[in-house]
Amino acid sequence: MELKQLYNKALELAPLNEEEGVFLYEEAPLEEMVFIGDRLRQIHSPGNRVGWMIDRNVNITNICFSQCTFCNFCRKKGSPDAYVTSVHDYIKKIDELFALGGDQLLLQGGMNPDLGLEFYTGLFRQLKELYPALRLHALGPPEVVFLAKKENLSYSEVLKVLIAAGLDSLPGAGAEILSDRVRKKVSPAKATSEEWLEVMREAHMVNLPTSATMMFGHIETLRERMLHLVKIRKLQSEKPNGSYGFITFIPWPFQDEGTVLAVRDGIRSSYNASDYIRLIAISRIMLNNIKNIQASLLTVGKGVAMLSLHAGANDLGSIMIEENVVSAAGAHNRFGAAEIQDIIREAEFIPVRRNQKYEPMD
Ligand code: SF4
């Protein structure tokens, strides 16, 4: 294998296999990876516009049977600080969201064994009746798998019922690393990699907009990271023509503060700045059929996010009013609407506010 040959292959938008990805990641000088990542970003998203959005993360409940070892957010049923968010609290939070100019709720778990499909459809309907302009970016493949098993329904049936109740798009939550070796250690009670992919396959069949993610920097190997990217690319290539598919890919590093992985097993986050920038570039290279790559400002902070915009990323995500899951494990970066736009300008790009489908809003 030669670097130049792989660069040319990437620039022709040809699919690289996992061995080629590993070779590039390990052997290519960082500045060359950045150059290729940026050239590919220009093919997928020409110009120098960078997307951002306003949304609010609300956790439906922190009770979760999954007890993932990287999670410092979940609680067992009966814990003194366990909760299920009340409608009164949703109303307060949504009013604040609209006051700040946002219209989307990112609604996420835990997976509370007491909450079935009727609970979620009732909640979605109630929120949409109260706020018809509200957009719901909610749940994720593990919750769909959980609900399908609980209700004895197919993934497609669960998705259709959720969509009818008001679900607008499905986050790529719970992907972590799509390797069952890794998942058995970090999230053994959660959807398997094939289940995660199957839910997304069904979501693409019913044209539900989705995103893909990766949480890296814990116990995975480099080859497993590349296989994760290959699996995402392969699934995207199978989506029906005209279906949204994966609108974006968002990698973020494991946040280790207070997690079982760190405290019990001594696994600390192995992420550093150059690793993240390299990962953004290799994501651009491997994901030849996904238009948008988002740098995770919330977890990597301003400096690394700015550099990521020169390595292939074309989006900085949301100002994320209230985030509880990764912040419980150490991600303490917070930015308002003015700051995120300043960061994009400081990196010499033009900020463009967008919606969940990556359509410009202004
Ligand atoms: S990461 Fe999500 S699924 Fe896993 S324990 Fe935490 S809340 Fe539950």
C-beta separation of 57 from 108 below 8 A: yes
pLDDT, tens only, 90-114: 999 999 999 988 999 999 988 999 9
Rounded to the nearest angstrom, the distance between the alpha carbon of 2 and the centre of ligand 1 is 41
Residue 361's pLDDT band (cuts 50, 70, 90): confident
Rounded to the nearest angstrom, the distance between the alpha carbon of 139 and the centre of ligand 1 is 11
What percent of the chain lies above the pLDDT cut of 70?
97
User: The whole model's pTM is what?
Assistant: 0.95
Q: State the burial class of residue 123 (Cβ atoms within 10 Å of its Cβ: 0-12, 13-18, 19+).
A: buried
| Atom 4 (ligand 1) nearest CA | 68
The pLDDT of residue 333:
65
Q: Which of 68, 196, 261 to mutate to test the pocket of ligand 1 (most atoms within 8 A of CB)?
A: 68
What is the C-alpha separation between 223 and 18, in angstroms, rounded? Answer: 6
Q: Which atom of ligand 1 is nearest to the CA of 187?
A: 4
Picking from 53-57, 157-161, 332-336, which range would have the lowest pLDDT averaged per residue? 332-336
Residues lining ligand 1, judged by CB closer than 6 Å? Answer: 64, 66-68, 71, 73-74, 109-111, 142, 187, 190
At 55 the three-state DSSP class reads strand
pLDDT at 308 over 80: yes
pLDDT at 133 over 80: yes
Residue 168's pLDDT band (cuts 50, 70, 90): very high
- The phi-psi region of residue 67 (left if phi > 0; otherwise alpha if psi is between -120 and 50; otherwise beta) is left
State the chain's mean pLDDT as an integer. 94
Name the β-bridge partners of 293.
249
pLDDT at 326 over 60: no
Q: What average pLDDT does the segment 297-314 reach?
A: 96
Q: Which of 193, 198, 208, 93 is nearest to 162 (CA)?
A: 208
Q: What average pLDDT does the segment 26-30 reach?
A: 97
pLDDT at 325 over 60: no
CA angle 15, 277, 188 (to 5 degrees): 75
Contacts 24+ apart (CB under 8 A), 71-77: 71/259, 71/325, 71/328, 71/329, 72/257, 72/258, 72/259, 72/328, 72/329, 73/110, 73/324, 73/325, 73/328, 73/329, 74/110, 75/110, 77/112, 77/113, 77/114
Rounded to the nearest angstrom, the distance between the alpha carbon of 277 and the centre of ligand 1 is 26
Residue 42's pLDDT band (cuts 50, 70, 90): very high
The pLDDT of residue 328:
62
Q: Which of 74, 108, 145, 183 to mutate to test the pocket of ligand 1 (most atoms within 8 A of CB)?
A: 74
The pLDDT of residue 177:
97
pLDDT, tens only, 67-89: 899 988 899 998 999 999 999 99
pLDDT at 23 over 60: yes
Q: Does residue 356 or residue 198 have the better pLDDT? A: 198
Residue 201's pLDDT band (cuts 50, 70, 90): very high
| Atom 1 (ligand 1) nearest CA | 71
Rounded to the nearest angstrom, the distance between the alpha carbon of 339 and the centre of ligand 1 is 30
pLDDT, tens only, 45-62: 999 999 999 999 999 999
Rounded to the nearest angstrom, the distance between the alpha carbon of 128 and the centre of ligand 1 is 26
The pLDDT of residue 169:
98
The pLDDT of residue 324:
58
